[in-house]
Amino acid sequence: MTALSRPVLYSFRRCPYAMRARLALAVSGQQCELREVVLRDKPQALHQASPKATVPVLVLGDGRVLEQSLDIMLWALDRNDPQGWLAPDRRGLDAMLALVGECDGAFKYNLDRYKYPQRYADAANVGPEGVVAAGDHAQAAAPAHRADAARWLMTLEQQLEQDAFLFGQHAALADMAILPFVRQFAHVDIDWFRAQPWPRLLAWLAGWMDSDLFSRVMKKYAPWIEGGDGVVFPETLPL
Protein backbone atom coordinates (compact mmCIF):
# COMPACT_ATOMS: atom_id res chain seq x y z
CA MET A 1 0.00 0.00 0.00
CA THR A 2 1.32 3.42 -0.96
CA ALA A 3 2.08 5.68 1.98
CA LEU A 4 -0.31 8.62 2.27
CA SER A 5 0.98 12.17 2.45
CA ARG A 6 -1.70 12.84 5.08
CA PRO A 7 -4.09 10.62 6.98
CA VAL A 8 -7.50 10.37 5.31
CA LEU A 9 -10.58 11.10 7.43
CA TYR A 10 -13.99 9.95 6.25
CA SER A 11 -16.46 12.19 8.01
CA PHE A 12 -20.03 13.49 8.04
CA ARG A 13 -20.54 16.98 9.40
CA ARG A 14 -23.55 16.35 11.65
CA CYS A 15 -22.52 12.95 13.02
CA PRO A 16 -21.56 13.40 16.71
CA TYR A 17 -18.98 10.62 16.50
CA ALA A 18 -17.31 12.32 13.53
CA MET A 19 -17.62 15.65 15.30
CA ARG A 20 -15.63 14.45 18.31
CA ALA A 21 -12.93 13.08 16.00
CA ARG A 22 -12.66 16.41 14.17
CA LEU A 23 -12.47 18.26 17.49
CA ALA A 24 -9.40 16.30 18.56
CA LEU A 25 -7.73 16.55 15.17
CA ALA A 26 -8.32 20.30 15.08
CA VAL A 27 -7.08 21.04 18.60
CA SER A 28 -4.00 18.84 18.15
CA GLY A 29 -3.16 20.20 14.71
CA GLN A 30 -3.03 16.74 13.11
CA GLN A 31 -3.86 17.65 9.54
CA CYS A 32 -5.60 15.12 7.37
CA GLU A 33 -7.42 14.87 4.07
CA LEU A 34 -11.08 15.17 4.99
CA ARG A 35 -13.54 13.37 2.75
CA GLU A 36 -17.11 14.40 3.48
CA VAL A 37 -19.42 11.40 3.08
CA VAL A 38 -23.04 11.33 1.93
CA LEU A 39 -24.48 8.64 4.19
CA ARG A 40 -27.10 7.48 1.70
CA ASP A 41 -24.41 7.01 -0.98
CA LYS A 42 -21.22 5.96 0.79
CA PRO A 43 -18.14 5.82 -1.45
CA GLN A 44 -16.57 2.49 -2.25
CA ALA A 45 -13.27 3.74 -0.84
CA LEU A 46 -14.88 3.97 2.59
CA HIS A 47 -16.16 0.39 2.34
CA GLN A 48 -12.70 -0.76 1.33
CA ALA A 49 -11.04 1.06 4.21
CA SER A 50 -13.54 -0.18 6.79
CA PRO A 51 -16.20 -2.85 6.23
CA LYS A 52 -18.37 -1.19 8.89
CA ALA A 53 -18.57 1.83 6.55
CA THR A 54 -19.70 4.22 9.26
CA VAL A 55 -17.99 7.52 10.01
CA PRO A 56 -15.56 8.48 11.30
CA VAL A 57 -12.79 6.37 9.80
CA LEU A 58 -9.19 7.57 9.80
CA VAL A 59 -6.72 5.89 7.42
CA LEU A 60 -3.19 6.57 8.60
CA GLY A 61 -0.16 7.07 6.40
CA ASP A 62 1.20 3.61 7.20
CA GLY A 63 -2.06 1.94 6.21
CA ARG A 64 -3.47 1.42 9.69
CA VAL A 65 -7.17 2.19 10.02
CA LEU A 66 -8.82 3.72 13.09
CA GLU A 67 -12.54 2.94 13.04
CA GLN A 68 -13.66 4.28 16.41
CA SER A 69 -14.05 7.95 17.24
CA LEU A 70 -12.37 7.65 20.64
CA ASP A 71 -9.39 5.87 19.07
CA ILE A 72 -9.04 8.79 16.66
CA MET A 73 -9.22 11.28 19.52
CA LEU A 74 -6.58 9.42 21.54
CA TRP A 75 -4.32 9.01 18.51
CA ALA A 76 -4.40 12.75 17.80
CA LEU A 77 -3.99 13.82 21.41
CA ASP A 78 -1.18 11.35 22.07
CA ARG A 79 0.72 13.10 19.30
CA ASN A 80 -0.03 16.63 20.50
CA ASP A 81 -2.23 17.79 23.37
CA PRO A 82 -1.69 21.56 23.65
CA GLN A 83 -4.80 22.17 25.78
CA GLY A 84 -4.30 19.25 28.14
CA TRP A 85 -7.38 17.26 27.15
CA LEU A 86 -5.73 14.08 28.45
CA ALA A 87 -4.70 15.74 31.71
CA PRO A 88 -7.81 16.98 33.56
CA ASP A 89 -7.60 18.90 36.81
CA ARG A 90 -9.45 16.18 38.72
CA ARG A 91 -9.25 12.42 38.52
CA GLY A 92 -7.75 11.15 35.26
CA LEU A 93 -8.10 9.47 31.88
CA ASP A 94 -9.73 6.28 33.18
CA ALA A 95 -12.46 8.27 34.92
CA MET A 96 -13.07 10.32 31.80
CA LEU A 97 -13.30 7.22 29.60
CA ALA A 98 -15.77 5.69 32.06
CA LEU A 99 -18.04 8.73 31.78
CA VAL A 100 -17.75 8.71 27.99
CA GLY A 101 -18.71 5.05 28.13
CA GLU A 102 -21.93 5.99 29.93
CA CYS A 103 -22.64 8.53 27.20
CA ASP A 104 -22.00 6.05 24.42
CA GLY A 105 -24.02 3.35 26.18
CA ALA A 106 -27.24 4.10 28.03
CA PHE A 107 -27.46 7.79 27.10
CA LYS A 108 -26.99 7.14 23.36
CA TYR A 109 -29.50 4.29 23.55
CA ASN A 110 -32.15 6.64 24.94
CA LEU A 111 -31.15 9.52 22.69
CA ASP A 112 -31.66 7.43 19.55
CA ARG A 113 -35.09 6.23 20.67
CA TYR A 114 -36.12 9.76 21.60
CA LYS A 115 -34.85 11.37 18.41
CA TYR A 116 -35.69 8.58 15.95
CA PRO A 117 -38.59 6.59 17.46
CA GLN A 118 -39.68 5.15 14.12
CA ARG A 119 -36.32 3.48 13.62
CA TYR A 120 -36.74 1.44 16.77
CA ALA A 121 -40.34 0.35 16.42
CA ASP A 122 -41.17 -3.08 17.82
CA ALA A 123 -43.01 -5.51 15.61
CA ALA A 124 -46.11 -4.97 17.73
CA ASN A 125 -47.16 -4.22 21.27
CA VAL A 126 -50.08 -5.97 22.88
CA GLY A 127 -51.88 -3.90 25.52
CA PRO A 128 -55.34 -3.46 26.95
CA GLU A 129 -56.55 -2.05 23.64
CA GLY A 130 -55.17 -5.00 21.69
CA VAL A 131 -52.32 -4.82 19.18
CA VAL A 132 -50.86 -1.34 18.84
CA ALA A 133 -49.12 -0.42 15.61
CA ALA A 134 -45.33 -0.58 15.90
CA GLY A 135 -44.85 3.05 14.98
CA ASP A 136 -47.45 4.20 17.51
CA HIS A 137 -45.77 2.18 20.24
CA ALA A 138 -42.36 3.62 19.43
CA GLN A 139 -43.72 7.16 19.36
CA ALA A 140 -45.43 6.63 22.70
CA ALA A 141 -42.19 5.37 24.25
CA ALA A 142 -40.15 8.41 23.17
CA PRO A 143 -41.01 10.54 26.27
CA ALA A 144 -39.82 7.75 28.56
CA HIS A 145 -36.51 7.59 26.70
CA ARG A 146 -36.21 11.36 26.96
CA ALA A 147 -36.79 11.13 30.71
CA ASP A 148 -34.16 8.41 31.11
CA ALA A 149 -31.65 10.45 29.12
CA ALA A 150 -32.50 13.57 31.14
CA ARG A 151 -31.73 11.76 34.40
CA TRP A 152 -28.20 11.11 33.15
CA LEU A 153 -27.84 14.73 32.04
CA MET A 154 -28.73 15.79 35.58
CA THR A 155 -25.68 13.85 36.79
CA LEU A 156 -23.61 16.04 34.46
CA GLU A 157 -25.31 19.12 35.90
CA GLN A 158 -24.30 17.96 39.37
CA GLN A 159 -20.74 17.35 38.21
CA LEU A 160 -20.63 20.87 36.77
CA GLU A 161 -21.61 22.35 40.14
CA GLN A 162 -17.99 21.98 41.22
CA ASP A 163 -16.17 23.24 38.13
CA ALA A 164 -16.80 24.88 34.78
CA PHE A 165 -16.06 21.60 33.02
CA LEU A 166 -16.69 17.97 33.83
CA PHE A 167 -13.26 17.28 35.30
CA GLY A 168 -11.98 20.66 36.32
CA GLN A 169 -11.51 24.24 35.24
CA HIS A 170 -10.44 23.46 31.69
CA ALA A 171 -12.08 21.41 28.96
CA ALA A 172 -10.80 17.87 28.63
CA LEU A 173 -11.42 14.72 26.62
CA ALA A 174 -14.67 13.86 28.39
CA ASP A 175 -16.19 17.28 27.69
CA MET A 176 -15.34 17.15 24.01
CA ALA A 177 -16.42 13.54 23.54
CA ILE A 178 -19.79 14.10 25.24
CA LEU A 179 -20.74 17.60 24.05
CA PRO A 180 -21.71 16.57 20.48
CA PHE A 181 -24.25 14.09 21.86
CA VAL A 182 -25.72 16.58 24.33
CA ARG A 183 -26.06 19.02 21.43
CA GLN A 184 -27.91 16.39 19.41
CA PHE A 185 -30.24 15.68 22.32
CA ALA A 186 -30.89 19.39 22.90
CA HIS A 187 -31.91 20.04 19.31
CA VAL A 188 -34.64 17.42 19.26
CA ASP A 189 -36.76 19.92 21.22
CA ILE A 190 -34.66 22.95 22.03
CA ASP A 191 -37.44 24.82 23.89
CA TRP A 192 -38.02 21.86 26.23
CA PHE A 193 -34.27 21.46 26.75
CA ARG A 194 -33.77 25.11 27.68
CA ALA A 195 -36.66 24.94 30.15
CA GLN A 196 -35.04 22.19 32.24
CA PRO A 197 -33.37 22.90 35.62
CA TRP A 198 -29.81 22.45 34.45
CA PRO A 199 -28.33 25.97 34.12
CA ARG A 200 -24.72 24.79 34.32
CA LEU A 201 -25.29 22.23 31.59
CA LEU A 202 -26.86 24.93 29.40
CA ALA A 203 -23.88 27.24 29.96
CA TRP A 204 -21.42 24.41 29.29
CA LEU A 205 -23.13 23.55 26.00
CA ALA A 206 -23.59 27.19 24.93
CA GLY A 207 -19.97 28.06 25.65
CA TRP A 208 -18.77 25.27 23.40
CA MET A 209 -21.21 26.09 20.60
CA ASP A 210 -20.08 29.73 20.68
CA SER A 211 -16.42 28.78 20.51
CA ASP A 212 -14.04 29.21 17.61
CA LEU A 213 -13.21 25.51 17.80
CA PHE A 214 -16.84 24.55 17.24
CA SER A 215 -17.02 26.87 14.23
CA ARG A 216 -13.89 25.31 12.76
CA VAL A 217 -15.09 21.72 13.03
CA MET A 218 -18.60 22.50 11.77
CA LYS A 219 -17.59 24.17 8.53
CA LYS A 220 -19.53 22.81 5.56
CA TYR A 221 -17.63 20.97 2.86
CA ALA A 222 -18.86 19.63 -0.45
CA PRO A 223 -19.32 15.85 -0.57
CA TRP A 224 -16.20 14.01 -1.63
CA ILE A 225 -16.25 12.56 -5.15
CA GLU A 226 -14.64 9.16 -5.57
CA GLY A 227 -11.19 9.53 -7.11
CA GLY A 228 -10.95 13.23 -6.30
CA ASP A 229 -9.08 15.10 -3.61
CA GLY A 230 -10.50 15.85 -0.19
CA VAL A 231 -9.86 19.05 1.72
CA VAL A 232 -7.09 19.75 4.20
CA PHE A 233 -8.43 19.64 7.75
CA PRO A 234 -7.88 21.49 9.97
CA GLU A 235 -7.24 24.33 7.56
CA THR A 236 -5.23 26.26 10.16
CA LEU A 237 -3.04 24.90 12.92
CA PRO A 238 -3.47 25.82 16.60
CA LEU A 239 -1.32 28.63 17.93
Residues 233 and 26: beta-carbon distance below 8 Å: yes
Category of 177 on φ-ψ map: left (φ > 0), alpha (ψ -120 to 50) or beta: alpha
Better-predicted residue by pLDDT, 218 or 139: 218
Q: Specify the pLDDT at position 122.
A: 58
The pLDDT > 70 percentage for the chain reads 90
Residues 22 and 11: beta-carbon distance below 8 Å: yes
Q: Specify the pLDDT at position 175.
A: 98
Q: What is the pLDDT of residues 76-101, one digit of tens each?
A: 999 999 999 999 999 999 999 999 99
Q: Specify the pLDDT at position 231.
A: 96
With a cut of 60, say whether residue 123 has pLDDT above it. Answer: no
With a cut of 50, say whether residue 217 has pLDDT above it. Answer: yes
In whole angstroms, what is the distance from residue 154 CA to residue 157 CA? 5
Query: What's the pTM?
Result: 0.90
Q: Cα-flanking dihedrals φ and ψ of residue 166, to 5°? A: -65, -30
From-to residues of CATH 3.40.30.10 in the chain: 8-85+215-233
pLDDT band at 135 (very low <50, low <70, confident <90, very high): low
Q: Check: CATH 1.20.1050.10 for 93-212?
A: yes
What top-level class would CATH report for the domain 8-85+215-233? alpha beta
pLDDT band at 236 (very low <50, low <70, confident <90, very high): confident
With a cut of 80, say whether residue 237 has pLDDT above it. Answer: no
From-to residues of CATH 1.20.1050.10 in the chain: 93-212
Q: Cα-flanking dihedrals φ and ψ of residue 125, to 5°? A: -130, 120
* 163 exposure class (CB count in 10 Å sphere: 0-12, 13-18, 19+): middle
Q: Specify the pLDDT at position 44.
A: 95
Q: What is the pLDDT of residues 164-187, one digit of tens each?
A: 999 999 999 999 999 999 999 999
